[in-house]
């Protein structure tokens, strides 16, 4: 019996970390050849580069009988992203699957965040997803097959405090994924986004956690593991998901779910047009019940995962 992604060549950025490692291991177990990309360093994108996380993942794959190579190029520049994809092509001739998982955090309230910290997160999450996807696109276009999975987040889809840079990047990734689905779908290439919920170094790095947050983190360490995210990602990359394109999914413990996407939900029409006064009179009373409140992720996901 062959694996779900047998013979495919995959790139997993951030493949040395918790979620990235789980995805890399499952891809290899299901027959893919994997470029494990990770620069090491801290979750803040600082510190010395360290190949050991990527190399550890590769060693685990090889020990289990799979094929993998480690790559330490950054996703945050056009040139280095080209090298990541070229590493796959040089080793196995092409690239079939891309998981844009690399990320950093720089948390601060919006009135305190610096342009440097805002840009650093955008560069890794959003620009990194673009650079690596764009570098891989010509290979997929020529062979008329391929699949992308991009990691988004409830921080953008729903909201959270002190994460304007992260939220902006993650919502940008949703638009990027949707655009790739349109532009490359004609050539048999698919693109989907996943909002993962799993205990990781980024969760551990939450600054100044309250006792309530700390208790929730401890529960999540057991109930939302990286291994819960990997099956959904591998399925979306496989030919079994050939009909799935341009969608947003979530994985949280033993739950998987599909997110809706922005569509008009209410409309008002006025034959002689609108003035600010007319809108003030009609809009809020008519639509108040349909407004989406500024909730945090924990408000929306109010139940504990199984």
State pLDDT tens for residues 158-192: 998 999 999 999 999 999 999 999 999 999 999 99
Cα→Cα distances 124→45, 65, 68, 104, 163, Å: 9, 32, 23, 7, 15
Q: What is the pLDDT of residues 59-83, one digit of tens each?
A: 999 999 999 999 999 999 999 999 9
Residue 281 has pLDDT above 90, yes or no: yes
Is the Cβ–Cβ distance between 282 and 268 less than 8 Å? yes
- Categorize the per-residue pLDDT at 44 as very low, low, confident or very high, splitting at 50, 70 and 90: confident
Share of the chain above pLDDT 90, in %: 82
- Write down the pLDDT at residue 34: 98
How many alpha carbons fall within 13 Å on the CB side of residue 166?
22
Mean of per-residue pLDDT scores for the chain = 93
- Write down the pLDDT at residue 45: 84
Residue 92 has pLDDT above 60, yes or no: yes
Cα dihedral value 15, 258, 178, 84, nearest 10: 10
Instruction: Report the DSSP beta bridge partners of residue 190.
Output: 147
Q: What is the pLDDT of residues 107-139, one digit of tens each?
A: 999 999 999 999 999 999 999 999 999 999 999
Domain range list for the chain: 9-258
Dist CA 79 CA 93 (whole Å): 19
Per DSSP bridges, beta strands 255-258 and 248-252 are antiparallel
- Write down the pLDDT at residue 217: 64
Cα→Cα distances 267→263, 270, 291, Å: 11, 10, 13
Q: What is the pLDDT of residues 20-33, one digit of tens each?
A: 999 999 999 999 99
Give domain 9-258's CATH superfamily.
NAD(P)-binding Rossmann-like Domain (3.40.50.720)
- Write down the pLDDT at residue 51: 95
Residue 303 has pLDDT above 90, yes or no: no
pTM of the model as a whole: 0.92
Q: What is the pLDDT of residues 203-250, one digit of tens each?
A: 555 555 667 766 666 766 666 789 999 999 999 999 999 999 999 999
- Write down the pLDDT at residue 124: 97
286 contacts: CB under 8 Å, gap ≥ 6:
266, 268
Residue 202 has pLDDT above 80, yes or no: no
Helices 164-185 and 115-122: angle between axes, nearest 10 degrees: 30
What's the token pair of residue 144? Answer: 């008329």
Catalytically annotated residues: 166
């Amino acid at each position: 019996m062959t694996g779900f992604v047998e013979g495919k060549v995959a790139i997993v950025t951030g493949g040395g970390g918790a979620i990235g490692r789980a995805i890399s291991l499952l891809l290899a177990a299901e027959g893919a050849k994997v470029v494990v990309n990770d620069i090491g360093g801290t979750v803040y994108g600082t510190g010395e580069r360290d190949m050991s996380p990527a190399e550890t993942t590769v060693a685990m794959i090889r020990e289990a009988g799979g094929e993998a190579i480690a790559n330490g190029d950054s996703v945050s520049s056009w040139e280095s992203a080209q090298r990541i994809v070229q590493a796959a092509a040089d080793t196995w001739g092409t690239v079939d699957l891309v998981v844009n998982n690399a990320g950093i955090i720089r948390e601060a309230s919006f009135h305190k965040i610096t342009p440097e910290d805002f840009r650093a997160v955008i560069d890794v999450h959003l620009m990194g997803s673009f650079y690596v996807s764009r570098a891989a696109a010509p290979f997929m276009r020529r062979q008329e097959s391929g699949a992308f999975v991009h990691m988004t987040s409830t921080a953008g889809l729903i909201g959270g405090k002190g994460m304007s840079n992260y939220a902006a990047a993650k919502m940008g990734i949703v638009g990027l994924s949707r655009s790739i689905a349109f532009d490359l779908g004609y050539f048999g290439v698919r693109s989907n986004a996943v909002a993962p919920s799993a205990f990781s170094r980024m969760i551990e790095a939450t600054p100044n956690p309250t006792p309530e947050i700390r208790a929730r983190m401890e529960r999540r360490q057991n109930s939302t593991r990286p291994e819960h995210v990997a099956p959904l990602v591998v399925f979306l990359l496989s030919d079994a998901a050939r009909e799935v394109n341009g969608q947003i999914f979530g994985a949280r413990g033993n739950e998987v779910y599909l997110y809706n996407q922005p569509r008009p939900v209410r409309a008002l029409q006025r034959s002689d047009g609108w003035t600010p006064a007319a809108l003030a009179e009609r809009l809020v009373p008519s639509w108040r019940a349909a407004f989406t409140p500024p909730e945090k992720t924990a408000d929306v996901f109010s139940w504990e995962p199984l």
